Amino acid sequence: MEPAKVASDPVEIQVGIADYKIGRDPARLITLGLGSCVGVSLYDPVLKLGGLLHLMLPDSTQFSNVTKPAKFADLGIPLLIDEMKKHGAQLSRLQAKLVGGAQMFSGLDNKMVLNIGQRNVEKARALLKDAGIPILAEEVGGNRGRTMIFDTSNGKVSIRMLGSKLKVI
Amino acid sequence: MSYRPLSPVELDALKEIGNIGLGNAVTSLAQLINRRVNMRVPRSSFLPFEEMIELVGGYEELVGCVSLRVLGDAPSIVLYIFDKESTFHLVDMLMGLPVGTTGELDEMAQSAIKEIGNVLTGSFVSAISMMTGLKMITTVPLFAFDMLGAVLTSLMVAAGRVEDQVLVIETELFHNAETLIKGHFFLLTEPGAIDRLMAALGFSEGQGS
């Protein structure tokens, strides 16, 4: 049997596609393989409380049947903000970081290369602005997949890309 | 938009479609690279796409992915995912280089891989089209070489396939022990396309479900 986890170990909480999770220091929130999807982190530095959302699409209103609201920026971001507030976060203290929104595919098929990544990023920026939450840093666009690791002890976000050094924002 | 549930018989029929289409595709690939290529018996199932990713590897695994849209009577997306080594091996074989030469993908190598995707898909689709009498046209291939999770989710989003579950016909291609080509093939159909495929195979709608 494995020994029990040491309590001071930073806990890793994985955030799935079209999902969000909340964590408190020393937890680390991780979402893997962001392509055109966007990872939105919210941080309350006083409580050392963080939330991470992995959204896929900008706008839910073009879809009649929404089963996972966290899939969409327009529903997921308000949900994440509410969840942070439920855990005691104050809106005025929240800080955001954005990662992802890449254009992964190269080719000539116009229908498929509509830049969803960019639209996701723009929508997320607009929604955060409306909510009055400042975006402290971004690592968006380009054509590379990214993994996002959010450390709730200090609010720092590390970005892992294949064949590149870890980048911290 | 959601799928009606398919009966085991219908899923078997889809697997058979996959078998015939892939058999044809694998033969074309073998001719193209002048090597023997084997294929496992395809599986067909409904999967949440998290599971589809796990089927191939990890979210952060480096893969090459060629995808094409199929237009016509049965709109769908066909995609091939090869792991990193297999992608390099395929490029070597197609370009007649000793296996192990290619270690990164320049533009030439990328177009070689796209061509392989084109050939695989073309023969896959024409076999199904011939069997069912449905009109199916393929578009130009798209290519990505990056994290599996990023590639797959971006592809589904771009194609408007954002249901929680996808119908997957999947198989593994492999070469002999000397050079492994490990690839996964997926056919993602739109809901209406399945009914048309089923009808063309002689199933009436909802039969057995």
What pLDDT, in 10s, does the model give residues B150-196? Answer: 998 888 887 666 665 666 777 777 666 566 677 788 877 776 777 78
Band (pLDDT 50/70/90 cuts) for residue B10 is: confident
Determine contact, residues A49/A89, Cβ cutoff 8 Å.
yes
pLDDT tens, B73-107?
A: 888 888 888 888 888 888 888 888 888 888 888 88
Is B71 among the domain residues? yes
Domain that holds residue B95: 8-200
Is A162 among the domain residues? yes
Is B2 among the domain residues? no
pLDDT tens, A159-169?
A: 999 888 899 99
The alpha-helical segments, DSSP class H, found in chain A are 73-86, 116-131
Is A7 among the domain residues? no
Contact A105 B144 (CB under 8 A): yes
| Strand B142-147 relative to strand A146-151, pairing | unpaired
CA–CA dist A54, A40 (Å, integer): 7
pLDDT tens, A128-165?
A: 999 999 999 999 998 899 999 999 999 999 999 988 88
The CATH number assigned to the domain holding B60 equals 3.40.1550.10
Q: How far is A63 from chain B (nearest CA, A)?
A: 9
Return the DSSP state at A91.
G
Is B207 among the domain residues? no
Is A20 among the domain residues? yes
> A148: which chain B residues are within 8 Å (Cβ-Cβ)?
none
Cis check: omega of the bond before A26, within 30 degrees of 0 = yes
Band (pLDDT 50/70/90 cuts) for residue A122 is: very high
Give pLDDT, residue B199: 83
**Residue among B46, B171, B71, B83 nearest B120 (CA):** B171
pLDDT tens, B108-121?
A: 888 888 888 888 88
Give pLDDT, residue A6: 41
Mutation to test the B interface, candidates A14, A17, A71, A159, most B Cβ within 10 Å: A17
The CATH number assigned to the domain holding A29 equals 3.30.1330.200
Give pLDDT, residue B208: 42
Give pLDDT, residue B179: 67
What is each CA distance from B43 to A75, A129, B19, B115, B189, in whole angstroms?
A: 35, 47, 9, 25, 15
Contact B146 A145 (CB under 8 A): yes
The verdict on A110 touching B (C-beta cutoff 8 Å) is no
Is B125 among the domain residues? yes
Return the DSSP state at A35.
S
A115 against A33, higher pLDDT: A33
Q: How many domains does chain A have?
A: 1
Query: Three-state DSSP class for B187?
Result: strand
Give pLDDT, residue A137: 95
Band (pLDDT 50/70/90 cuts) for residue A5 is: very low
B35 against A109, higher pLDDT: B35
pLDDT tens, A67-107?
A: 788 999 999 999 999 999 999 999 999 999 999 999 888 76
Is A1 among the domain residues? no
pLDDT tens, A14-60?
A: 999 899 999 999 999 999 999 999 999 999 999 999 999 999 999 88
For tokens 């959204």, name the residue.
A55
Domain that holds residue A127: 12-168
Is A155 among the domain residues? yes
Determine contact, residues A65/A115, Cβ cutoff 8 Å.
no
Give pLDDT, residue B43: 74
Is B209 among the domain residues? no
Q: From the candidates A15, A18, A30, A37, which is the catalytic residue?
A: A37
CA–CA dist A71, A76 (Å, integer): 7
CA–CA dist B91, B121 (Å, integer): 17
Give pLDDT, residue A154: 94
Instruction: Tell me what percent of the residues of chain B surpass a pLDDT of 90.
Output: 5
Is A3 among the domain residues? no
Q: How many domains does chain B have?
A: 1
**Residue among A138, A123, A128 nearest A80 (CA):** A128
Average pLDDT of the residues of chain A: 88
> A17: which chain B residues are within 8 Å (Cβ-Cβ)?
49-50, 149, 153
Instruction: Among A84-88, A136-140, B8-12, B203-207, name the one with the lowest average pLDDT.
Output: B203-207
Determine contact, residues B133/B200, Cβ cutoff 8 Å.
yes
Is B152 among the domain residues? yes
